[in-house]
């Protein structure tokens, strides 16, 4: 009888140990996926920035009229975009996230998710500002080319960022909800034994 009890205890322990490992792996795997999503987004933003900086420099030098100012603003705007993407990628690749707890992983993911949502709202403002600049091109005929070029550029950049931020917000939100739906399993030691904890 005693041997049977020991066998049962060993069996239960053998079953619980992988579950304890699953708890740690699940939120770490979630964060790795989250980080990969963030990095992919920054690579896309950085590629867009490089494209606009290259074409902007060429257009600024070789075109005239509103096209000159359109390309000029594209270059200025995407210098900032490239800086944002570069800083984000540098931080992601040079930070140690391996020791983050489940709550910290979720908080980090949620913070980035909210940034995409907030930026989506700002993008709408950018587009509105672009149309306002185009309105100024009519109001101030002596600066028609400048306001038209800048306005078209801001509308283009705001439109791209709105699409980008909205899509990435949707992806990040979907990942978070999927993680919360799956829940988490952990083993809690106590003086009287081991407890199986389910977190949702």
Q: Across the 200 residues of the chain, what is the mean pLDDT of every consecutive 10-residue run?
A: 48 40 64 94 98 98 98 99 98 85 91 97 98 96 97 98 98 93 54 49
Q: Which residue has the tokens 């699409």?
A: 163
Distance CA 180, CA 200 (A): 6
CB atoms within 10 A of CB 59: 19
Would you state the pLDDT for residue 195?
A: 47
Would you state the pLDDT for residue 200?
A: 45
Query: Can you give the residue ranges of every domain in the chain?
Result: 42-95+108-199
For residue 184, the cross-strand partners are 199
Would you state the pLDDT for residue 26?
A: 82
Would you state the pLDDT for residue 97?
A: 77
Distance CA 69, CA 63 (A): 9
Task: Mark out the alpha helices in the chain (DSSP H runs).
Answer: 2-62, 66-93, 102-139, 144-182
CA distances from 176 to 116, 132, 186 (A): 14, 37, 19
The H-or-E segment that residue 65 falls in is none
Would you state the pLDDT for residue 3?
A: 56
């Amino acid at each position: 009888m005693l041997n049977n009890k020991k066998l049962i205890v060993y069996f239960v322990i053998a079953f619980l140990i992988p579950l304890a490992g699953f708890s740690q792996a699940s939120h770490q795997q979630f964060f790795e996926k989250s980080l990969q999503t963030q990095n992919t987004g920054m690579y896309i933003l950085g590629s867009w920035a490089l494209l606009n900086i290259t074409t902007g420099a060429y257009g600024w030098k070789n075109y005239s009229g509103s096209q000159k100012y359109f390309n000029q603003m594209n270059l200025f705007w995407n210098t900032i975009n490239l800086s944002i993407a570069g800083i984000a990628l540098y931080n992601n690749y040079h930070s140690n996230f391996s020791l983050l707890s489940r709550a910290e992983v979720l908080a980090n993911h949620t913070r980035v998710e909210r940034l995409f949502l907030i930026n989506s709202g700002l993008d709408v403002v950018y587009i509105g500002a672009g149309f306002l600049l185009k309105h100024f091109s009519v109001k101030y005929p002596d600066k028609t080319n400048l306001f038209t070029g800048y306005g078209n550029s801001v509308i283009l950049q705001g439109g791209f960022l709105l699409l980008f931020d909205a899509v990435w917000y949707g992806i990040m939100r979907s990942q978070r909800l999927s993680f919360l739906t799956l829940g988490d399993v952990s083993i809690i030691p106590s003086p009287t034994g081991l407890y199986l904890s389910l977190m949702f």
